[in-house]
Copies of this chain bind each other. A is one copy, B any other.
Amino acid sequence: MVLINDNYLRLPESYLFSDIKKKVTAFKASHPEAKIISLGIGDVTRPIAPVIIEALHSAVDEMGHPETFRGYGPEQGYSFLQEKIVENDFKARGVELDTDEVFISDGAKSDIGNIGDILSVKNKIAVTDPVYPVYVDTNVMGGRAGIMEKDGQHWSDIIYIPCTSENNFVPDLPAQRPDVIYLCYPNNPTGTTLLKEELEKWVDYALENDSLILFDAAYEAFIHDENIPHSIYEIPHAKRVAIEFRSFSKTAGFTGLRCGYTVVPKSLRISDESGKRVEVNKLWNRRQTTKFNGTSYIVQRAAEAIYSPEGKKQIQESIEYYMRNARLLKNCLQNIGLQLYGGDNAPYIWVKTPNRLSSWKFFDRLLNECHIVGTPGIGFGPSGEGYFRLTAFGRYEDTVEAISRIQNWKL
């Protein structure tokens, strides 16, 4: 009898965004005249920058001629892009990487989802809480999460590290030692960041405890402050304990084009069952060459264009466009007396709901009274209860309109 992977059955249906949709649909039906503004999902609204569009057209033309046509590319990505990444994203910040430590992919979500392939099912997982649900869900699928506790919110085998206003969203080192630690900074959903010394504490912990850090830096491009590391490899010896995931989705609006990359340093070695140390770079290379066939050539050319002087300028403009939204939103929310976090070096604003409102209650009131959609914090994990996520990725005009509604809001 052929059998499924039973771990999949443990995973409850994900209702967050479908529940939001249902509520919005119901509201629309009863208020057909209302103009609803969505500051909920983490998708971008700005078009792809002109210099990237040019690069795409030019790569498309190459594919139409026999002399310049490209078939299968390297599964690890083209060196023209790997070199630009090494030079601009790392060397410019004092981090030395070899091009074969950089694996181009169709996006960070795929890599974050697939990284578990090369890791033992026995590893104990830790996540900060609230958290990007993919970290938890993929470990449920992989058989590392245990069972859902009676509270319906915690998995028995996962270590949750709460990040709330009580610890100013700086995660404490865990009481119980994890094998694998997911860190995401700038953070989704809280929009908060770690200072260099705060991240250093985690790298030191991983070095001392033989733990692996999976560092998600998808929102790195939104960092303005100088003392916030863009890459975990800015921390000494981090190459020995960390894999870093990067995305062009938020940096350059590639959510629909699909490109990201993962750094697996050659000095990162972890143990096999016998205790022998194994080079993780080789394992990931084997995974990618066996189960992946490279990222679309034209999209890799598009990503390359981000690193041209004109490209850098144009994507910076988009980032500033979103960060202006963030500032406007922050000011407005503060003015009506809300306590909030993030939004300075990240496109997310994490609002503490007033008067102990539940995050769903806050959602309902914001929708009903301001016709604005956001995301209830509880959707990101138990410590998200009592919080609410708003994003800066909307159109400027919509954000301004949202603010004009919020500023008169009687909460």
How does the 8 Å CB contact mask read for A103-118 relative to B, with 1 for contact and 0 for none?
Answer: 0001101100110011
User: Considering the chains assembled together, what is the distance between the CA atoms of A141 and B293 in angstroms?
Assistant: 17
Q: Give 11 new A-B contacts, CB below 8 A, not counting A14-B289, A69-B256.
A: A2-B119, A8-B283, A48-B64, A71-B253, A72-B256, A107-B293, A109-B293, A114-B114, A134-B290, A138-B290, A298-B298
A156: Cβ under 8 A from any B Cβ: no
CB neighbours of A289 from chain B (8 A): 14
Query: For chain A, what secondary structure do more than half of its interface residues adopt (helix, strand, loop), or is it mixed?
Result: loop
Interface CB pairs A-B, < 8 A, 8: A2-B180, A8-B287, A48-B69, A69-B256, A71-B253, A109-B292, A117-B141, A298-B298
Pick from B3, B61, B257, B296: contact of A179, CB below 8 A: B3
| Minimal Cβ-Cβ distance residue in B for A53 | B64
Name A48-86 residues within 8 Å CB distance of B: 48, 50, 53, 56-57, 60-61, 63-66, 68-73
User: Considering the chains assembled together, what is the distance between the CA atoms of A297 and B249 in angstroms?
Assistant: 13
Whether A286 and B8, one on each chain, are in contact in the complex, defined by CB atoms closer than 8 angstroms, is yes
CB neighbours of A53 from chain B (8 A): 60-61, 63-64
A1: Cβ under 8 A from any B Cβ: yes
Interface residue count on the A side (C-beta < 8 Å): 82
Q: How near does chain B come to A294, taking the closest CB pair, in angstroms? A: 7
Name A224-248 residues within 8 Å CB distance of B: none
Q: Which 5 A-B pairs have the closest CB atoms?
A: A113-B291, A3-B120, A2-B179, A43-B71, A71-B255
| Minimal Cβ-Cβ distance residue in B for A73 | B256
CB neighbours of A3 from chain B (8 A): 119-120, 122-123, 179, 270-273
User: Considering the chains assembled together, what is the distance between the CA atoms of A11 and B274 in angstroms?
Assistant: 17
Pick from B46, B47, B69, B122: contact of A47, CB below 8 A: B69
A4: Cβ under 8 A from any B Cβ: yes
Whether B179 and A273, one on each chain, are in contact in the complex, defined by CB atoms closer than 8 angstroms, is no
A153: Cβ under 8 A from any B Cβ: no
Whether B46 and A56, one on each chain, are in contact in the complex, defined by CB atoms closer than 8 angstroms, is no
Name A90-143 residues within 8 Å CB distance of B: 106-107, 109-110, 113-114, 117-123, 134, 137-138, 141
User: Considering the chains assembled together, what is the distance between the CA atoms of A1 and B206 in angstroms?
Assistant: 10
A6: Cβ under 8 A from any B Cβ: yes
Q: How near does chain B come to A79, taking the closest CB pair, in angstroms? A: 15
CB neighbours of A408 from chain B (8 A): none
